[in-house]
Structure 1
């Protein structure tokens, strides 16, 4: 008999196709919020969209922090939280991709628990969440994503401890933004390579959901439709970069794609090894999926033929191998498809394998249909995409 558990997110509201400022104003008015601090990356802070959003929100914005760095280093978290605390923020607004959104998630905990140091984050890493605040009393965040990473839908924050070059996972059900606004105009100044690669990251969410060792009928349905929207939207956006509807289709596909991991479907080897490449070697998350997913599909093919056939069907070619279809999509989007292109050397494989085996111990990382049990298993995957 099939069995499983579906976990419902604490997210309150998702708005799509509306200008972000309009949706944010309505949300803040409904919740009685008056003191927003906006947070983003240095590159996003130079865009016309960021400047327009600041102007449109006007007096609701009491401060900003524009130094959220790639891979969400602890330093960005502590600095951003200090700004928000000094300004007396009653809501944080993250405008950016996964690195910005993940950093702001952990800033919430810094503000909830009054943490301001690495030692405080070390204690939090060990599980020191406070029960003093009720859910309705906690400061929450709003997210306006500018990429297709889907960080805005998850209760996980991937944070880099630069002292050890390690990606840490922090988790809290209220890390998910109270409001997510899918405004396709927010993505128009995002570099094309970043949109394409994070789109493949969301394709990865769909694929590893459909192939998971612990599947869910709800997640499978979301992943299949999400994969269709993503493949169609990414191709359309590649052909016509200014097509706002194509961008919105990608955003909606991203939302559906992450439904599996958010609801409790565990991820597989592409995501797990990808976290190591990001945290230890600075590889953008989207590009880790571009390189690893085809190799992981091939490595798993002997035990997941039926699931991979569903992936192929959702991508429009049910008779072809899923690994080939994903690789062709990656290359059509002009993204890297080998570890060599990412600057990874074979001499680094032992370190990648060692850190990956540690990541596989996380409860949400047990979804690979073919169990990864040794460094040799990881070497085989890495060799196949070198």
Structure 2
């Protein structure tokens, strides 16, 4: 049989048709070990794989007992419990100095995003290998993004040195995470998916990972709420968390994360809850200017529109509703406008003005209907 092959749309594949799909995607070098109930054995195997003999374990005081169980049998020479949200520079410096004094050759973090963030801060200046054992859905363990806060300003960056060599996911370690915190943390993961859809370096692989992450989180989180002790919902949520973080790390930080980093650094707001509250307002603001991304998000939710799907999920899991519930004053929202405007990505689908940010932040502060962000009408 002979003939000319045909490309989509009826064009000759070897002549008229020219692909418009062109991108570069870098896959991060990292081992991912996923097995419920096997954290201790898996961590031992990963540390042995690294050839480490002097391990530093980072875990907040509240998770000290859990960390003892997870790191049983390791050659631990230092346990560090000073873990502070948003990783203040002075805390990072003290931990780095302790690691140097202890001649540490590997760091194991057991905990949420703040714990992982501190381990990354150590790796940033020491090149020490990390093994991350998440107990929340923060996703930091799967990214090469670091963050430090100094004088009420949070600075983030990307560096291959901070990417954990291995992640050990064990859903049993998340069962003790209270439902409200699980919801906030899971919505933080969902924010990674949404921001990845229009991040500055987004490519088709990022969008595919983000869409699958949304599907996983949209089914996993309600199951966690319904059956907090059950593993299916916890595993599904952890799976979605990993996908969300990989997509976000590749696509880069978008408007949503820029807003939350500014608010967290300036006002020391709780990380996960801030992301959970701000997300629908950024989605509503950007959706009409990014129709392909909006359709992907809607399809992942199984909804008519992206914002409808997100709002339905938020209702089902009783999501955090307003920044004022977490200590932000109305004047703070206004005062943060310029700081956010200074870091808005040029790639954001919709132009962003100071007026837009003021409306968005005030709406998130009050917890008003996010649909008001879809057009230019004034607050009422």
Shared fold (TM-score, shorter chain, > 0.5): yes
Instruction: Say if 2:177 is the partner of 1:190.
Output: yes
Whether the 8 Å contact between 1:40 and 1:68 is mirrored in structure 2 is: yes
The equivalent residue for 1:52 is 69
What is the CA–CA distance in structure 2 between the aligned matches of 1:86 and 1:212, rounded to whole Å? 40
Whether the 8 Å contact between 2:84 and 2:114 is mirrored in structure 1 is: yes
SS in 1 for 2:342: helix
Residue of 353, 369, 372 corresponding to 2:349: 369
Whether the 8 Å contact between 1:64 and 1:83 is mirrored in structure 2 is: no
Report Cα offsets for 1:51-92 as digits up to 9, x if no partner.
3224x225x111100111112111221122222222211100
SS in 2 for 1:57: coil
SS in 2 for 1:359: coil
The equivalent residue for 2:378 is none
Whether the 8 Å contact between 1:108 and 1:140 is mirrored in structure 2 is: yes
What is the CA–CA distance in structure 1 between the aligned matches of 2:322 and 2:61, rounded to whole Å? 29
1:332 Cα shift? Answer: 2.9
Residue of 318, 324, 327 corresponding to 1:343: 327
The equivalent residue for 1:126 is none
The equivalent residue for 1:69 is 84
What is the CA–CA distance in structure 1 between the aligned matches of 2:116 and 2:233, rounded to whole Å? 23
1:262 Cα shift? Answer: 1.7
What is the CA–CA distance in structure 2 between the aligned matches of 1:333 and 1:44, rounded to whole Å? 25
Matches within 5 A, 1:237-276: 237-263=224-250, 265-276=251-262
Q: Gaps spanning 5+ residues in structure 2: where?
A: 1-19, 367-380
What is the CA–CA distance in structure 1 between the aligned matches of 2:205 and 2:57, rounded to whole Å? 34
The equivalent residue for 2:129 is 140
Whether the 8 Å contact between 1:159 and 1:170 is mirrored in structure 2 is: no
- Change beyond 3 A, Cα 1:102–1:29: same
1:222 Cα shift? Answer: 0.9
The range that moved more, 2-11 or 72-81, is 2-11
The equivalent residue for 1:103 is 118
- Change beyond 3 A, Cα 1:16–1:203: same
- Change beyond 3 A, Cα 1:268–1:92: same
Report Cα offsets for 1:343-374 as digits up to 9, x if no partner.
322312332112212333xxxx44421132x3
The equivalent residue for 2:373 is none
Q: Gaps spanning 5+ residues in structure 1: where?
A: 113-137
Whether the 8 Å contact between 2:147 and 2:157 is mirrored in structure 1 is: yes
Residue of 172, 185, 209 corresponding to 1:222: 209
The equivalent residue for 1:35 is 54
The equivalent residue for 1:384 is 363
TM-score (structure 2 length as normaliser)? 0.85
Whether the 8 Å contact between 2:209 and 2:244 is mirrored in structure 1 is: yes
The equivalent residue for 1:289 is 275
- Change beyond 3 A, Cα 1:214–1:71: closer
User: Comparing both chains, which one has the higher relative contact order based on Cα–Cα distances under 8 Å and sequence gaps of 6 or more?
Assistant: 1
Report Cα offsets for 1:151-206 as digits up to 9, x if no partner.
00111111111xx2011114311200001101112212223222211100111111
SS in 2 for 1:205: helix
What is the CA–CA distance in structure 1 between the aligned matches of 2:178 and 2:326, rounded to whole Å? 18
SS in 1 for 2:60: coil
What is the CA–CA distance in structure 1 between the aligned matches of 2:102 and 2:179, rounded to whole Å? 35
What is the CA–CA distance in structure 2 between the aligned matches of 1:9 and 1:366, rounded to whole Å? 25
1:211 Cα shift? Answer: 4.2
What is the CA–CA distance in structure 2 between the aligned matches of 1:168 and 1:42, rounded to whole Å? 26
Residue of 1, 7, 25 corresponding to 2:26: 7
SS in 2 for 1:63: strand
The equivalent residue for 2:142 is 153
The equivalent residue for 1:175 is 162
What is the CA–CA distance in structure 2 between the aligned matches of 1:270 and 1:95, rounded to whole Å? 27
Report Cα offsets for 1:245-291 as digits up to 9, x if no partner.
2211111111111222222x133222110111111112222212221
Report Cα offsets for 1:227-256 as digits up to 9, x if no partner.
111111101111000111221111111111
Aligned residues between the structures: 345
Whether the 8 Å contact between 2:130 and 2:164 is mirrored in structure 1 is: yes
SS in 1 for 2:283: helix
Whether the 8 Å contact between 1:144 and 1:182 is mirrored in structure 2 is: yes
TM-score (structure 1 length as normaliser)? 0.84
SS in 2 for 1:148: coil
